[in-house]
Amino acid sequence: MNLRPIAISVIASLAVFAACHGADSAHHAHTTVFEDAAAMPPLLAPRAIQPAEIRGPVRLLSSDAFEGRGVGSRGDEVTRAYIESEFERLALLPMGQDGGFTQPVPMLGITTEVTQQLAANGAKGTKSFEAPTDYTAVAGSAAQSAEWKDAEVVFCGYGIEAKEQQWDDWKGHDVRGKVLLVMNDDPSSDPALFAGKTRLYYGRWTYKFEEAARRGAIGVLLIHTNASAGYPFQVQQANHGRENFWLPFADGEPVLPIRSWITEDAAKQLSALGGHDLDQLRAKAESREFAPVPLGVTVSLAAKNTVRELKSGNVLGMLPGSDAQRSEECVVVTAHFDHLGIGPKKRDDAIYNGALDNATGVAAMLAIARVCAEMDPRPARSILFAAVTAEESGLLGSQWLARNLPIDRKKAIANFNIDGLGIWGETRDIEFVGHGKSSLTALAERIGAAMGVRVLPDSNPENGTFYRSDHLNFARIGVPAAYFKSGSDFVDRKEDRKRMKASYTATHYHQPADEVADWWNFDAAAKDAQFVLECLLACCQGDAPTWTKGDEFESRR
């Protein structure tokens, strides 16, 4: 099917919107390069982002016509075509392949079908578990099939080896060919260890699977709790049985044949088959003295994988800087355009529209790019606007971009990532995920003071949000990164709006229900976007950001 005419017809629906707001964007403001960041004017944007600049693209991108923007799908192609047209309209320089805006991202799509349900056997009896009610199973390699056949289960606590923390959950235990029962978190009982309540990368599920693969395990049963995951089990269930995506596997790369999440109740039942109490095991895992515990339980599970090669891509547009010297340096702005596409029906709806996550982020990036493109002169440093793919599949698009930047990596001085805006109501605060990790904290606080907004640390550091969106891949290559979350100090109806915000994670996150509603407050969303814009412009004009001394990413700069 030729999708280009379809994409063009969808894009045309924004023509009236573009014409309407264009006239309001005509005035410009002169900006000056300041060598001393402290002397810099606090606000630099020539105008305010208007709510309609967020509302229009969000409604379009999250409409059923875009089919949930699933990776490698028709919705993926239509979305990229729309973003490309917007970049071209703003006269951004194409930074993709062959003089175009798209940077192809090669990927594998792997669909896992369980052919033999999880069965466990121990001294206390046998038990069968059903997917996705009790557990989920997703392939971790491109093999056509995967199997656990009477595999020994070992409880490995947090599954962490951190020499700088003098912590080793493995104690030399050989886990090759075994299935590991692992906790999804890092130790938090001692504030002197693992940053206390703040989760580090050691506590992320990605680390657990990666570490198990490095040690030769054939599978992991990762224990899900709402507290440790930051979302209900239904979020994991949404990934079960559907196509998941990977960058091509490198030769010799350690892989984990089956990645599984298991409910807390099912994990307790599994442990009990070997005569163990899961709560007691987890309590022991809080100590440095912990060592792996063979549960006396074996498990069997079989699955087959359908593997296909597919293509998606990042959409890249550059706004060249106006300063002869600083224009060689670049600030990267990212927002992922993908969501979950078409999946299991929930209340007769199978399209996972992803309105908040992350149509709002794409709309904000486009609005910010529009303001920056209007400026005369332009910001001093160059700005790379990157709409990235496959964030929901493991940050794959930004990982590919970070590995294959169209500019010298050392010239990329900062990253501002936009993954959701506040749509519940205007607030007096905004949260900085990664607060204190770099000098971007001081910059954001200065902007916040000028805008009358308090810049606060992440209110849920135990969720490890810094390691859950695209900015992580820039931090990994040494680029100071900032990601802002909407605040909770609402200007009006504070308690009502806090309940509305909390309900998003419980009922809308990664569900078909993530759709635009009449009550959405686009004034609040525009204000969040304005904050990012001001921080971006300040970064383009001021000193290059630096990591805080001793930060985990400082040495990668």
For the chain, list the domains and their CATH numbers.
Answer: 4-23+48-91+320-556 (3.40.630.10), 109-307 (3.50.30.30)
Give the helix, strand, coil percentages of the chain, each rounded to 5.
35, 25, 40
305 strand-pairing partners: 112
Mean pLDDT of 461-490: 94
pLDDT at residue 5 in the model: 44
Burial 332-357 (b: 16+ CB within 10 A, else e): bbbbbbbbbbbbeeeeeeebbbbbbb
CA distance 534 to 552: 27
pLDDT at residue 503 in the model: 84
Q: Which of 1-5, 255-259, 322-326 has the lowest mean pLDDT?
A: 1-5
- Residues 11-53 have pLDDT tens digits of 444 443 443 444 343 333 333 343 444 545 579 999 999 999 9
Supply the mean pLDDT for the chain.
Answer: 91
Does the pLDDT value for residue 395 go beyond 70?
yes
Mean pLDDT of 468-496: 95
CA distance 518 to 514: 13
Nearest residue to 293 via CA among 177, 150, 156, 122: 156
For 128, list phi and psi in degrees, rounded to 5.
-110, 140
pLDDT at residue 83 in the model: 98
Mean pLDDT of 285-290: 95
CA distance 283 to 17: 57
Does the pLDDT value for residue 145 go beyond 60?
yes
The distance from CA 394 to its chain's CA centroid, rounded to whole angstroms, is 7
Q: Which of 77-86, 96-105, 240-249 has the lowest mean pLDDT?
A: 240-249
The crossing angle, in degrees rounded to 10, of helices 522-541 and 440-451 is: 130
pLDDT at residue 506 in the model: 77
Strand positions, DSSP E, 77-234: 93-94, 102-122, 125-128, 135-139, 145-155, 161-162, 167-168, 179-183, 219-224
- The DSSP secondary-structure symbol of 303 reads E
Q: Determine what percent of the chain is predicted with pLDDT higher than 70.
A: 93
The amino acid at residue 511 is: Q
8 A C-beta contact, residue 447 and residue 43: yes
Does the pLDDT value for residue 274 go beyond 60?
yes
CA distance 320 to 381: 7
pLDDT at residue 41 in the model: 54
Does the pLDDT value for residue 10 go beyond 80?
no
pLDDT category at 151 given cuts 50, 70, 90 is very high
pTM over 0.75: yes
